[in-house]
Structure 1
Amino acid sequence: MAFFMEITYVVFSVLCFCFLLLRWNEMRYRKNGLPPGTMGWPVFGETTKFLKQGPNFMKNQKARYGSFFKSHILGSPTIISMDAELNRYILMNESKGLVAGYPQSMLDILGNSNIAAVHGSAHKFLRGALLSLVSPQMLRDIVLPRIDRFMSSQLSNWDGKIINLQDHTKEVIFLSIMDQIASIDPASRRADYFKTHFFKLVLGTLSLPINLPGTNYRNGVQVRSLIFFHILVLIDMQMHDNFFTKHRHKHTRTLNINLTLLI
């Protein structure tokens, strides 16, 4: 009987502690002017529910709090808008005091200077530089036909097979990008290497910024360095391929080098 009472006391104490911890975290972010919502646990917030439920998390929160609510996901306090008109206003007025923000894990892994992280004049400059690399004529004569040939060859391998469409689509899109920017054969070991490490990097950007062994964040930080090193190797190989850059593959190789430099 005494043992049962002790267990009951421990369970009750843990539940009270969890309740007080949640209340403290809610009170900590209760400021005037913030929309309704919940902040979840300290540090972790509602990240677990967000990653587990996916779009249903947003739908449930919208049904409970409306189209504009607060949360705490991926290590950052977040205001979420699911109102189309408000989102349009924010996107159209980025240079007027409204600045896009991204999770800390994404900034740490992709870098503070990637095109998704910068804003204002810096974003316009990078976007213009990227668009200037691909002219309409190059798209029509080189890029799109190459993508068409690649996709046709990949889709032909799906005949008569039962496949996971989502996984295969992600894989084909990634391999197509590798073919475009670095001329990597999709059947090569290098393609498998980049694919494996790239998906680890993506998982790292969608995780809590906790730099401990075994976490997706730590893995993402590590593979970023590996990918960067191998991209430098590819750049060096392409820059030394003088014969092709001066002859029939001139435009394609130049495009590959420039896009690779900007990754």
Structure 2
Amino acid sequence: MSFLFLVAFTLISAFLLSKYLSRPRTRSTLPGGSLGYPLIGETLSFLRAQREDRGPEWLEERISKHGSVFKTSILGSRTVVIIGQAGNKFVLGADDGVLAAKQPLTLQTIGGKQNILELTGYRYRLVKGAMMTFLKPESLQKYIKEMDELVKTLFLTETKGRDTIQAVVFMKELTFSIASNILFGIKDDYTREALFDDFSLAFKAIMSLPVNFPGTVHWRGRRARSRIVNKILPIMEKRKEELLKGIRSPSSDVLSCMLELRDENKQPIADDMIIDNFVTLMIASHDTSAILLSLMIWKLARDPEVYKKVLEEQLDIVKKREGKEQKHLTWAETREMKYTWRVAQELMRMIPPVFGSFRKALKDTSYGGYDIPKGWQVLWVACGTHMNKDIFDNPTEFDPSRFENPSKPIPPYAYVAFGGGLHTCIGNEFARVETLTIVHNLVTTYEWSQVNPEEVITREPMPYPSMGLPIKIKPRVLTT
């Protein structure tokens, strides 16, 4: 009995001593909140709320107890969550030396440690510059015809002999094909399809428990990333040869452009950095667009008034082509789709594709009277301002007109569908053109209806119609 007492006393003493030694040596004022269970923190409840599209409610439970700044532990890291416009500005506008774009362990594992979301300073500017060469409006104008042709072809292939399609899967395949062809010059169908399957697995692992055990989502995602790397390395080697022989130009595609990049010492950037940014840009350039397009199809099927206005705008563009030898969409025509894009903006306000984003504190800092210790991650969330009635009148009402010369201007860092500050999404214009091109072809060529009218939205980790959005689809008969 005395031996058991001695063991228990030793264990308790060791535990108390470790807690004492781990305490900060200086007085710290952390925000209120709970770090949850050891290791997993509150990750399970957070992910469950996301799957059930109750992320705002998960936040509100904690805001009601602790205020607009609170602590938690999710996705493997202790976290300070900051809600509101001022908080968005603090996080998104912070210097990289204070709050760096260091993502959770799961995103680092899939995207790689040298992806653009992790880079700072010179390396960030270098990679961003290469990507912007292909994502800026001047470049996108050259892609419109190819994008339009590709969309038309894939729509015909998908709907041939079928009256029902899975809209979510098709939008993912469609946007992946556009990114592969236009941004990366990967035009081989077999390679593209194999990459698509692996990217689908990798993407699911981004918001998962970081448990690398056989059978887990995280484990499958890591294996998928390895296969992606194995597929892209031979493509990179071939591109290097083509660039050396002058067969291919650095301006041909993003991959070729990055292969020609030189660092501050005039040396080629490492293959690892190119691969990490290929993976990250591919995910960013197709999955977020697929989300928005799926939500557009879902919304237009459920809201006849909005659908009618979108259809009228798109048919008016077709009508203006009469008498012209014009077969493809033009850049100028996408600029005329103002109402259609306002619908997209309003959808992203109410159902933001990205729930929020993380930063990592590189040094001790503070916000709102609370300390943020070095090494902790900081999370901002879109719904904190998107659904704020002091910023948007009647925020639960779907109203695209709020983006048309609003009487109440939207303040900076309040509408953050594409982030803000230095790390504003560099693909926002690409997403706009891609969305409008696909919606134009869809509404002018087809009619559709939901198979499951009561289908709700879920997040795994991004928001999608929970049943994959099966739709009945048929060719539209245009009347003169």
- TM class by shorter chain equals 0.7 to 0.9
On the 8 A contact 1:115/1:123 being kept in 2, the answer is yes
User: In the alignment, residue 258 of structure 1 is paired with which amino acid?
Assistant: C
On the 8 A contact 2:130/2:258 being kept in 1, the answer is no
Alignment length, in residue pairs? 231
Matched residue, 1:103: 104
On the 8 A contact 2:249/2:256 being kept in 1, the answer is no
* Aligned-partner SS, 2:38: coil
The answer on 1:184 being equivalent to 2:187 is yes
Matched residue, 1:59: 57
* Aligned-partner SS, 2:78: strand
On the 8 A contact 1:204/1:220 being kept in 2, the answer is yes
Q: Comparing 194-203 with 59-68, which one deviates more in the overlay?
A: 59-68
Classify 1:48/1:222 alpha carbon distance in 2 versus 1 (closer, same or farther; 3 Å).
same
User: In the alignment, residue 256 of structure 2 is paired with which amino acid?
Assistant: I
The answer on 1:232 being equivalent to 2:233 is yes
On the 8 A contact 1:62/1:69 being kept in 2, the answer is no
User: In the alignment, residue 184 of structure 1 is paired with which amino acid?
Assistant: K
Classify 1:259/1:161 alpha carbon distance in 2 versus 1 (closer, same or farther; 3 Å).
farther
Classify 1:239/1:254 alpha carbon distance in 2 versus 1 (closer, same or farther; 3 Å).
farther
Classify 1:72/1:134 alpha carbon distance in 2 versus 1 (closer, same or farther; 3 Å).
closer
Structure 1 length normalisation: TM-score?
0.72
Matched residue, 1:46: 42
Distance in 2 (alpha carbons) for counterparts of 1:257 and 1:199: 24
The alpha carbon displacement at 1:252 in A equals 6.6
Classify 1:125/1:235 alpha carbon distance in 2 versus 1 (closer, same or farther; 3 Å).
closer
Matched residue, 1:78: 79
Matched residue, 1:173: 175
Distance in 2 (alpha carbons) for counterparts of 1:38 and 1:168: 41
On the 8 A contact 2:100/2:118 being kept in 1, the answer is no
Classify 1:134/1:46 alpha carbon distance in 2 versus 1 (closer, same or farther; 3 Å).
closer
* Aligned-partner SS, 2:173: helix
Instruction: Summarize deviations over 1:112-165 as a string: whole Å, max 9, x none.
Output: 111011223432232123224566544322x23222222232334348633343
The alpha carbon displacement at 1:198 in A equals 0.8
The alpha carbon displacement at 1:63 in A equals 4.3
Classify 1:35/1:177 alpha carbon distance in 2 versus 1 (closer, same or farther; 3 Å).
same
Distance in 1 (alpha carbons) for counterparts of 2:227 and 2:196: 12
Q: Which runs of 4+ in 1 moved over 4 A?
A: 28-32, 133-137, 238-242, 249-252, 259-262
On the 8 A contact 1:94/1:120 being kept in 2, the answer is no
The alpha carbon displacement at 1:259 in A equals 5.5
On the 8 A contact 2:133/2:139 being kept in 1, the answer is no
Distance in 2 (alpha carbons) for counterparts of 1:108 and 1:255: 22
Matched residue, 2:216: 215
Classify 1:38/1:170 alpha carbon distance in 2 versus 1 (closer, same or farther; 3 Å).
farther
* Aligned-partner SS, 2:54: helix
Q: Comparing 188-197 with 92-101, which one deviates more in the overlay?
A: 92-101
Distance in 2 (alpha carbons) for counterparts of 1:221 and 1:189: 22
The alpha carbon displacement at 1:103 in A equals 0.8
Structure in which a larger fraction of residues adopt helix: 1
Structure in which a larger fraction of residues adopt strand: 2
* Aligned-partner SS, 1:163: strand
The share of aligned pairs that are identical, in percent, is: 23
Structure 2 counterparts to residues 189-204 of structure 1, below 5 A: 189-204=190-205
- Structure 1: where are the runs of 5+ without partners? 1-27
On the 8 A contact 1:245/1:254 being kept in 2, the answer is no
Between 1 and 2, higher relative CO (CA 8 Å, sep ≥ 6) is seen in 2
* Aligned-partner SS, 2:100: coil
Distance in 1 (alpha carbons) for counterparts of 2:23 and 2:190: 49
Classify 1:176/1:29 alpha carbon distance in 2 versus 1 (closer, same or farther; 3 Å).
farther
User: In the alignment, residue 165 of structure 1 is paired with which amino acid?
Assistant: A
On the 8 A contact 1:68/1:82 being kept in 2, the answer is yes
Distance in 1 (alpha carbons) for counterparts of 2:168 and 2:209: 25
Matched residue, 1:146: 146
Structure 2 counterparts to residues 24-39 of structure 1, below 5 A: 32-39=28-35
Distance in 2 (alpha carbons) for counterparts of 1:126 and 1:225: 22
User: In the alignment, residue 98 of structure 2 is paired with which amino acid?
Assistant: G
Distance in 2 (alpha carbons) for counterparts of 1:95 and 1:43: 27
The alpha carbon displacement at 1:213 in A equals 1.6
Classify 1:237/1:71 alpha carbon distance in 2 versus 1 (closer, same or farther; 3 Å).
same
On the 8 A contact 1:68/1:83 being kept in 2, the answer is no
- Structure 2: where are the runs of 5+ without partners? 1-21, 260-273, 279-480
On the 8 A contact 2:198/2:228 being kept in 1, the answer is yes
Distance in 2 (alpha carbons) for counterparts of 1:29 and 1:168: 52
On the 8 A contact 1:238/1:253 being kept in 2, the answer is no
* Aligned-partner SS, 1:182: coil
* Aligned-partner SS, 2:164: coil
On the 8 A contact 1:49/1:57 being kept in 2, the answer is no
